[in-house]
Amino acid sequence: MVVENLIRTESRENMRNIYLYRLLKNGINITYGKDTIEVQSYGIEIERQDVIDGKLVNIERDSVNSISPERYKVHNLLKLLYDNAVSPIHLIDVLGDYIDEYIIDFDKEVKYIAY
């Protein structure tokens, strides 16, 4: 589910690029011992639409569905991507280290729910 959408437009000669930065919300199942626990998760999707002479000619899209259960962290990443006009092609390059760092948030959330 999309919970926030930021839009940016850039124009060059006869081409217009529309960038859509979306904050996603979903649930993931995590196994803890013998139990399976559903944890709320936030992710990011970036879409770029290329428009020439008013016609949509190309769409590029990439996403990471589960980055962290902490919305504010993922929102801050969304803002970083938006402010720097990051293309969907470079989404993983930019977010890779953050994703590695934030993965521990799911363990914390599971332990909080389990106790």
Residue in the structure block whose two tokens are 């996603």: 24
Q: Which helix (H) or strand (E) holds 70?
A: none
Phi-psi region of 113 (alpha: psi -120 to 50; beta: other; left: phi over 0): alpha
**What pLDDT was estimated at residue 43?**
98
Low-confidence ranges of the chain (pLDDT < 50): none
Average pLDDT along the chain: 93
**What pLDDT was estimated at residue 110?**
76
**What pLDDT was estimated at residue 107?**
84
